[in-house]
Amino acid sequence: MLLILALIIFGALLFGFLITKTTKEVPKSWFEWKTEFKYQYLGMAGLIHDAQYAARDRVTLYKQPDRIAVITGGNRGIGLRIVEKLLACDMTVVMGVRDPVSAKSAVGAIVDLNQTKGKLICETLDVGDLKSVRNFAQRIAGKYPKIDVLLNNAGIMFAPFKLTADNYESHFAINYLGHFLLTHLLLPQLRAAGREGKNARIVNVSSCVNLIGSINYKDINGLNNYYPGAAYSQSKLAQILFTRHLQTLLDAEKAHVQVIAVHPGIVDTDLFEHSATTSVPFLKKIFFKTPERGARTVVYAAIEPSIEGQGGVYLSNCGRGPFHSSAKSPAKCERLFDYSCELLKIKEYGNGK
């Protein structure tokens, strides 16, 4: 009897594990198994946090017609709902997307673009291509001398190994390095928009999996031991280290710009396309946040007046969340920042050149 019970419990745990793995493959090494177990733990903790703080997860949309927001991605998933909310605030929203025409129709399918007082502009951007980032930033900086909000939202997760045109592993390039460069290039416009009592804001859409990330300086592309889950968590930790050090620099120069990192929640989007959860869409519908709910903390970080002046923080469900201990070390944050500047040959971060 006891054996049967033990077998049933084991079977249920195994089934749960198999349908929530980060990849559709079976882990091959202890490192891969360990990474999977960490993801399982964080996934459960994330779902519990989302349920526990559901009532707090609210953002008030208020009119701010004179303000401009730039977002990477935004044609689907959480980003699309972020755009919807910013347009409801009557903001001008500039989307940096790979396909501007289809992005505009995606927004048009959920927002009446003839009625909204917000303004939508779609520009070409591949955030994983440094040349494209530079072209996009140049166009945007030329058109808008002031930018009030920059939302670094675009991202990929658990993708098979791929190097970008610039020879960077794709998670590192898209989720982190491209946004690091974009922020550098648009910082003059953000500085120009911020004023006493009304900071410009940079929102880095990170993830709770930053908690299990580590920056592999010896092999940043993971060439020797690539595992998609490890590449994703590295990129999401990198965004938080970046957030923290950039805020330190901005505070030192007394710029009216604040930088915030966000975990949007566990959200039912295409981001999970490479994971085993695609086999159980109904479970995602039940337990995961909708993209609309996923957009709330991000928009909160971008516009909420009560967090004015609170830069360098990490938000989850519209409140403070736990983040990796290395991001509490200014030296570790600075190390990644300097390393990234070296990779991109940036001499003076934030001068827009």
Ligand X SMILES: NC(=O)c1ccc[n+]([C@@H]2O[C@H](COP(=O)([O-])OP(=O)(O)OC[C@H]3O[C@@H](n4cnc5c(N)ncnc54)[C@H](OP(=O)(O)O)[C@@H]3O)[C@@H](O)[C@H]2O)c1
**Token output for 225:** 């031991």
**Token output for 42:** 């964080």
Q: Supply the minimum distance, in Å, between the C-beta of residue 223 and ligand X.
A: 20
Q: How many residues bind ligand X (CB under 6 A)?
A: 29
* CB-nearer residue toward ligand X: 43 or 194: 43
* CB-nearer residue toward ligand X: 71 or 190: 71
- Give the span between the Cα atoms of 242 and 160, in whole angstroms: 25
**Token output for 73:** 């991605």
Single residue of 156, 237, 276, 299 touching ligand X by CB under 6 A: 156
Reply yes or no on whether 176 is catalytic. no
Single residue of 271, 307, 318, 333 touching ligand X by CB under 6 A: 271
Q: Supply the minimum distance, in Å, between the C-beta of residue 155 and ligand X.
A: 3
SS3 content of the chain, % helix, strand, coil (to 5): 50, 15, 35
CA distances from 344 to 22, 205, 244, 332 (A): 31, 21, 19, 19
DSSP state of 26: P
Q: Which stretch binds ligand X (CB under 6 A): 17-25, 53-61, 75-83, 223-231?
A: 75-83
120 touches ligand X by CB under 6 A:
no
Q: Supply the minimum distance, in Å, between the C-beta of residue 273 and ligand X.
A: 7
- Give the span between the Cα atoms of 274 and 263, in whole angstroms: 20
Residue 82: alpha-carbon gap to chain centroid: 12
* CB-nearer residue toward ligand X: 153 or 255: 153
Backbone angles phi, psi at 114, to 5 degrees: -85, -20
Q: Supply the minimum distance, in Å, between the C-beta of residue 232 and ligand X.
A: 7
Contact 303, 208 (CB under 8 A): no
Task: Give the total residue count for the chain.
Answer: 353
* CB-nearer residue toward ligand X: 155 or 194: 155
DSSP state of 161: P
125 touches ligand X by CB under 6 A:
yes
84 touches ligand X by CB under 6 A:
no
**Token output for 325:** 């201990």
Q: Supply the minimum distance, in Å, between the C-beta of residue 103 and ligand X.
A: 8
* CB-nearer residue toward ligand X: 291 or 312: 291
Spell out, one character per residue from 230 to 269, where the chain touches ligand X: x when CB under 6 A holds, - when not: ---------------------------------xx-xx-x
* CB-nearer residue toward ligand X: 63 or 320: 320
Catalytic hit among 39, 168, 227, 232:
232
| Element containing residue 316 per DSSP (H, E) | strand 313-316
207 touches ligand X by CB under 6 A:
yes
Q: Which stretch binds ligand X (CB under 6 A): 19-27, 37-45, 123-131, 299-307?
A: 123-131
228 touches ligand X by CB under 6 A:
no
Contact 156, 171 (CB under 8 A): yes
- Give the span between the Cα atoms of 93 and 82, in whole angstroms: 10
Q: Which stretch binds ligand X (CB under 6 A): 53-61, 115-123, 150-158, 330-338?
A: 150-158
Single residue of 64, 92, 153, 247 touching ligand X by CB under 6 A: 153
CA distances from 141 to 172, 179, 353 (A): 25, 15, 11
Q: Supply the minimum distance, in Å, between the C-beta of residue 74 and ligand X.
A: 6
Which among 215, 256, 263, 213 is positioned nearest to 47, based on CA atoms? 263
127 touches ligand X by CB under 6 A:
yes
| Element containing residue 2 per DSSP (H, E) | helix 2-20
- Give the span between the Cα atoms of 297 and 319, in whole angstroms: 8
285 touches ligand X by CB under 6 A:
no
**Site residues (vs ligand X, CB under 6 A):** 72-79, 98, 125-128, 153-157, 174-175, 205, 207, 263-264, 266-267, 269-271
Report, as residue numbers or ranges, the catalytic residues.
Answer: 232
